[in-house]
Chains A and B, each alone.
Chain A
């Protein structure tokens, strides 16, 4: 009996000590829920995004001497505003389904007690997941979901750092305005788009904004991304001969258009693309030499050596053991850094304080990893400074050419296309 009670006391003391240690540790950790598609058909994108966010956590927790000179949160040793609390990521898989996204968000909030949520890549999943965060009053930041209506739901806890289709349209319009001022012909514009959701919504956003800004959209050509022949569309373009063509396409169709334009020997003055298929490494590799001078967009360009973007790119390369940051991973990292910036300023893990800090976010262009002009949220939670970079195909790879402050090369026009 004595033996037993002595043991009980020992166990009790040990567990008390353990509980105390856990408590002490708990105060030094701030948990962020990270929800991405780690399985399912978007798993590749989700895993890159996850890696980017993990890199972000490393930057905050361990620091980086070079980055520390440029970014306050990169000094290492956790978040200064939270007495050096380390960021702990609680990563979950949304399995590419809205239901799993919502179930996991509930778990992260109620069981893991995360103080903020980040995710979810697919707009539909961001929709269901953020609805739970809204009900529980936990800040939810999406770095990459672009469905326009996500920020039209009247949510108070929802924030979005990525620009959306209308922002891209604005970038194209501004770019064309500059070209016009430089004496290029931009009088007739054709928009060629694949006929599912992505192509339709993006081309509508571009056309609407162009009309509003007084640009002359003379043709809208739709086609199926599964087509094996786009000669009719290219012949149509050749006949009307617009000055500018903007493509909204996936990969195989982008390749097909590039080939067909060569075989039918037609090219516009300015050829532009809304990223997607034209940014796919498969396209760049196979069609790069056939599309010299093509203008596309990206949320990321490594920029000048020594910039935040360039350093993060190098760190990411080291972590991934291969490719550097690209459009998707750069946006994820940017979203995470905006969230961490707010956490640091909030100086508390109280969700309401984090929400207030997010609303007061004012990150400048020189603090950006992605090619934004900064991060500043409007009343709906949309980043108003989320702009895009334009990149141009030069000798088989893209280089940033616009806007000037982020360009590493000058724009060379007219479009050259095939080089031999």
Chain B
């Protein structure tokens, strides 16, 4: 048994045991669930933003669709919110197709700008729809009616649900990464023109990546709603959300399997702890600290934290690098 194998097993044990170990501290337990939830949307973004290199700054659209689908299932159909998740995925994929066909023709930052515009458009539209609760938003079940409402006091059930979903997203990403589509996407990222000239149907694969990414971001939105029980246009479709998803993936390492998870592992605790420790002062210093750390990482590690490992002289350079993240080994 190699040291790497031992390390992997240890990480799996840590990941699986985390909510049990932290059972005495609901805040720490919840932090674990928050990290996983953020990692789901960032990993979903990674498929199109990281692997295909199409930097979407409007992923909140899909997150919001997921969250609103879940709350609409409850408010208008009287179903458990989570049953809205499949609907959210379908709507997100359809919306991704509608947005993607024209905008994915744009290259570089023009695509990013188009996604920002669409995001803002959807946010404004949602705030004028009475059916979606307008600017005030909609709330999920106030009190859990059955266990299917996924409304728990403890964060432990959320943790394991999020972990399973994240494992699914990462598993699928891993599968894509090693398959034909992964090669196509990397080729498109390096040079779309070159990829096209070699017969890669760039437009089609970019669209596939975008739709897949949208579907999983939507799931994250639905899960968010189950946990927090409320969504309004700002928390569902706000541009800050799109930026957060992007920053998390970029910070950890965009285009790498575990990059978004590493980003979430750093940023989510940083955000929560800085707000807990400094927020009460009321000077907005939280965001100063938060921003400063992002700037520092961006300055000194532009290709993400995972690049630190690659620089290590004796690090393995094969396809499966040492995974610094606890979710290695697929904890399912």
Contacts and interface: CB of A to CB of B under 8 A. Distances in A.
- Say whether A and B bind each other: yes
B135 A103 contact: no
A90 B229 CA distance: 25
A96 B234 CA distance: 10
A128 interface: yes
B30 A197 contact: no
Contact of A95 (B136, B232, B279): B279
A136 interface: yes
A184 B281 CA distance: 52
B201 interface: no
Interface string A309-330: 0000000000000000000000
B183 interface: no
Interface stretch (A146-154, A269-277, A410-418): A146-154
- Interface majority SS on A: helix, strand, loop or mixed? helix
A92 interface: yes
Nearest to B278: A93
Given A38-B279, A106-B27, A95 B286 contact: yes
The size class of the interface chain B forms with chain A is 20 to 34
Contacts of A153: 139, 142-143
A155 B143 CA distance: 8
A99 B235 contact: yes
The size class of the interface chain A forms with chain B is 35 or more
A283 to B, nearest CB: 22
B26 interface: yes
A96 B143 CA distance: 24
A219 interface: no
B134 interface: yes
B282 A154 contact: no
B135 A197 contact: yes
B12 interface: no
A93 B229 contact: no
A251 interface: no
B27 A127 contact: no
Nearest to A156: B143
Given A103-B30, A196-B127, A196-B128, A154 B284 contact: no
Given A106-B26, A110-B27, A197-B127, A91 B282 contact: yes
Contacts of B102: none
B134 A197 contact: yes
Contacts of A93: 275, 279-280, 282, 286
A334 interface: no
Interface of B: 25-27, 30, 34, 127-128, 134-137, 139, 142-143, 153, 224, 228-232, 234-235, 272, 275-276, 279-284, 286-287
11 contacts: A38-B280, A38-B281, A39-B286, A93-B286, A96-B234, A98-B232, A106-B26, A124-B235, A131-B229, A155-B143, A196-B128
Given A196-B134, A197-B134, 14 more contacts: A38-B282, A43-B282, A92-B280, A98-B228, A98-B231, A111-B27, A128-B230, A135-B153, A149-B139, A153-B142, A154-B142, A155-B143, A196-B128, A200-B134
